[in-house]
Structure 1
């Protein structure tokens, strides 16, 4: 269990002059499992909406892989996986709205969830643009890695190993950076009328303060994405809505509020 009234100690980023940083709480290593448990409860309470979003999350990577097959450039698979992880937080806004409606005791609807981006439109769309810029930047880095790889080398596991290792390291760095940036930014922007810089720095600060629990949470997200790809994207129908709901509960547990929440 987390400590709802235990504030994390201040550090350099909370004194930033760039934007206000919302205080965070200290988490326990077992909290990610609690978030998943609450997410399953949300999914069971909203089976139709959950299924709709699950199908959407399954169709998107299927389309990406279809393009890969059409172009014949199979070395783009790894960048495509990271791109999906970049865009995922932005697409999960509707799922956050469903959990938020349940928290308030309302009956969620798909239409209402689609309007989630309009609550803090300028900053939320700014966040979407930021994700797109980072996605494009990652694709350029991946293209550079591929361009430096000698095309005349035999296509064997041994010959591909340096490319795969370099690509994995680069992808890991980008994924870690995205964990800091996206962990709490989207739900903060949805619930609170704050600017993008405040939401971003609050997310970075919260992840930094709770390194171990957030690394565990990041590993769970990565594992869910990996399982989804191994199952031919069918796993995304169930896993991605669960991750979306759990991300909202992670936000509830981590980012402080002036008044205690009713939903735990």
Structure 2
């Protein structure tokens, strides 16, 4: 079989295979990208904003249904005040610049995280984008903003305890489905593919429950340099994997059934 020798050929082949329904990305390396160029860290975040636009458009073109981007964690408040203030302004900058394009591309903006703790101007920008795109039924662009998975799970426990204390549920009712119904992502499919940029190989308190059976892809590329070629490569690798979900692969399962006859 000939090896595809162009991006267009590879893209055509990838589209004929199983596409990840939900891609989650830990966007890492903005600060190091800037430091390599003797620029302030905020310059890396500004450049990373352009990458969000590029990757969102390409994911939508590929037919990915949900793209979740880890934009700001509950731990990121510990960063220098100047950097945090800049990061809190980025949603407004991004959505002001690209909201007409998102609407035209039929992309719906959503957010998971602790919304009320965000500055009012950040809340306003996100609310405006969500309202303007709520009727769109294409790609869901889901920003994880002021999000931390451990805090999310603590709040799930609190919700379940409240249900039990008010006798709305019994102990026997507590199962995986109940937990999932209390998650911030309860209306979304679980991620099929997690990508982390910049060479770091950890989850950093991101969607710990939801990523239980996601395929993981790590790259040394800093987020501002991440492009369509990088995403296509991650998806091509995803399409080569045998997703077992804890069970035997199809061949092993067939052999087992034969032995049982």
**TM-score interval (norm. to shorter):** under 0.3
Return the structure number with greater strand share: 2
- For normalisation by structure 1, the TM-score amounts to 0.26
- For normalisation by structure 2, the TM-score amounts to 0.26
Return the structure number with greater helix share: 1
Q: Which is bigger in relative contact order (C-alpha 8 A, separation at least 6)?
A: 1
